[in-house]
A and B are shown apart, each in its own frame.
Chain A
Amino acid sequence: MPEEIGKGMTKADIVEHIYERVGFSKKESADLVETVFAVIKETLSSGQKVKISGFGNFVVREKNARKGRNPQTGEEILLQARRVLTFKPSLVLKNILNDEQSPE
């Protein structure tokens, strides 16, 4: 089933690609895609980075506790130390997006 250009891609579309290009059943394709994202999520939750060459790096960063302010009330608050996830796109991906742009 062709996907509409301009429409967002979802996990279901990725499953469809696996089904069409790799030849697993829909059920297997769906299970595999779920497993891949589950493994990435668990790895990141354990504090490890996930580096996908040609795509980008998912990196967990620790933010120190700091004083902040409630922008509505101006009240000072203490923001707890926390862990956040960032994505650094690979140069390869950035180049792909900027080369051969179709004229619009």
Chain B
Amino acid sequence: MGDELEQETEDGASKAITKSGLIEKVAGRTPHISKKDTEVVVNTIFDSMTEALKEGRRIEIRGFGSFQVKIREAREGRNPKTGEEVHIPDKRTPFFKVGKELKEMVDSSFAAEASEGSGE
């Protein structure tokens, strides 16, 4: 990724929802299902995704995006303070690539706001 200047759109945690906020919102749309069950569903979704990544599998959620684990190979490094050689093991990091639909949803909402109220 480039060195573009970027800033978070929000100034604080108020503009964020957590997992419990997500559960609330989902529960609000599924009145025939108890909140407890909604919670189990949301947890199961993220647990099963975590398991898949742990097995090194790719996850593809159509319309949302994909997750993939990238491996940085083990290498021999050096402790910069002591000069001592150290073995640095493999490191696995999850990456998310946003899907086309969500990418456009996120960006077009911005374009819409910008054209409506640029006077603020």
Contacts and interface: CB of A to CB of B under 8 A. Distances in A.
Interface in B7-21: 7-10, 15-19
Interface of A: 5-11, 13-14, 17-18, 21-22, 24, 28-29, 31-33, 35-37, 39-41, 43-64, 66, 81-87, 89, 93-94, 96-98, 101
A82 to B, nearest CB: 5
B22 A39 contact: yes
A64 B102 contact: no
Interface of B: 4-10, 15-19, 22, 25-26, 29-30, 33, 37-38, 40-42, 44-46, 48-50, 52-65, 67, 69, 90-96, 98, 101-103, 105-107, 109-111, 114
**Residue of A5, A7, A9, A45 with most chain B CB atoms under a 10 A cut-off:** A9
Given A11-B61, A49-B15, A36 B7 contact: no
Given A21-B44, A85-B98, 10 more contacts: A9-B59, A11-B60, A18-B44, A32-B26, A33-B45, A47-B109, A52-B22, A62-B8, A63-B5, A87-B96
Given A32-B30, A62-B6, A51 B44 contact: no
Contact of B10 (A18, A47, A82): A47
Contacts of A93: 50, 53, 94
Contact of A82 (B52, B69, B107): B107
A36 B64 contact: no
A60 B9 contact: yes
Given A14-B49, A53-B18, A37 B57 contact: no
Contacts of B102: 41, 44-45, 85
A31 B91 CA distance: 36
B4 A14 contact: no
A41 B96 contact: no
Q: Which of B16, B29, B69 has most A Cβ within 10 Å?
A: B16
